[in-house]
Structure 1
Amino acid sequence: MLLAKRTSVWRARYEVSQDGHRVARWDGSLWRGGGDLEVAGQTFHVRGNAWGSRFSMLDKAGGVVAAADRVGRKRWTVTAGGTTYEFQRASVWSQAQDLYAGGRQVGSVRKVSFWGSDVAVDLPGVPLPVQIFVLGVIVTMWQAQAAAAGGGGGG
């Protein structure tokens, strides 16, 4: 299991560790959906569409390594290396996202505590760079949902 600790109050910047050792970094973009991730010395760029419903993870040459579709819906997918990973919101009252395979839950991404911003990533069988991509997509989705909830009428 991975533990992502937020390291910045102002930005969606996370240090990701496994068994106490840093394995990756997610640095969310302040002005647009997506950000950059670093895994094993490699940097990938994550870009989202204007609606925040589709994201792509790009390598240094601009090639698509992974793609997320229907983000923000009850069910959404990530495709990488010829494999499609199916995610589903855990419940209408929860921000947690569960990974499904063969119709059963096999993993999850969820906040460690209700009040905190640290995130537990438990996605067995998913390659590490794709796990960090999923983390970045989910954190970006949570930020967009929080902004929408706080951006009421005011008239």
Structure 2
Amino acid sequence: MLIAKRTSVLRSRYTVTDNGRQVAAWEGAVWRSGGDLTVAGGSFQVRSNMWGNTFSMLDKAGGVVAAADRVGRKQWTVTAGGLTYEFRRASMWSQAQDLYAGGTKVGSVHKLSFWGNDVAVDLPGVPLPVQVFVLGVIVSMWQAQSAAAASSGGG
């Protein structure tokens, strides 16, 4: 299981560790969804459309390594390496996202505590760069949802 610890209060920066050893880093973009990630010495850009419901993970040459579609919906997918990973929101009251294979829950991404921003990424069988991409997509989705809730709460 990967643990993503937020390293900045003002920015969406996470250090990703596996058994206490840093394996990746995520830095969210400031004014849009997406960001940059570093995994196993490789650098990737994560970009979204203007609605934040599709994301692409691009290598240095601009080639698509992974893509997420229907982000923010109850069910959404990530495609990478010829495989499609199906995610579902764990429940109406939770921000957790579960990974399904053949109708069976096989993994999840969830906050470690209600008040904190640290995230547990448990996606067995999913390549490490794709796991970090999923983390970035989910963190971006959570931030967009939080911003939408904050902007609609005033009166």
Query: Could you state the TM-score of these two structures normalised by the residue count of structure 1?
Result: 0.98
Distance 1:95 1:12 in 2: 17
* Alpha-carbon spacing, 1:2–1:153, altered in 2? closer, same or farther (3 Å): closer
Distance 1:145 1:152 in 2: 11
Opposite residue 26 of structure 2, the aligned amino acid is: W
Q: Which position in structure 1 is the counterpart of 2:13?
A: 13
User: SS of the counterpart of 2:117?
Assistant: coil
Matched, 1:32 2:32: yes
* Separation (CA, whole Å) in 2 of partners of 1:152 and 1:143: 14
Partner residue, 2:47: 47
1:69 alignment partner in structure 2 = 69
Which residue of the partner structure matches residue 91 of structure 2? 91
**Structure-2 residue corresponding to 1:140:** 140
Q: Output the CA distance in 1 between the equivalents of 2:11 and 2:137.
A: 15
Q: Percent identity between the aligned chains? A: 76
**SS of the residue 1:151 aligns to:** helix
Query: What is the total number of aligned residue pairs between the two structures?
Result: 155
Pairs within 5 Å for 1:85-124: 85-124=85-124
1:32 Cα deviation after fit: 1.0
CA distance in 2 between partners of 1:153 and 1:102 (Å): 39
SS in 1 for 2:79: strand
Flag structure 1 segments of 5+ consecutive residues without an equivalent.
none
CA distance in 2, matches of 1:132, 1:40: 11
The CA deviation at 1:153 is: 6.2
Amino acid at match of 2:71: V
Runs of at least 5 residues in structure 2 that lack an aligned partner in the other structure: none
Rounded to whole Å, the distance in 1 between the matches of 2:85 and 2:40 is: 22
Q: Summarize deviations over 1:96-133 as a string: whole Å, max 9, x none.
A: 00000010000000000000000000000000000000
Query: Shift in Å at residue 154 of structure 1?
Result: 4.2
TM-score (norm 2): 0.98
Moved over 3 A (4+): none
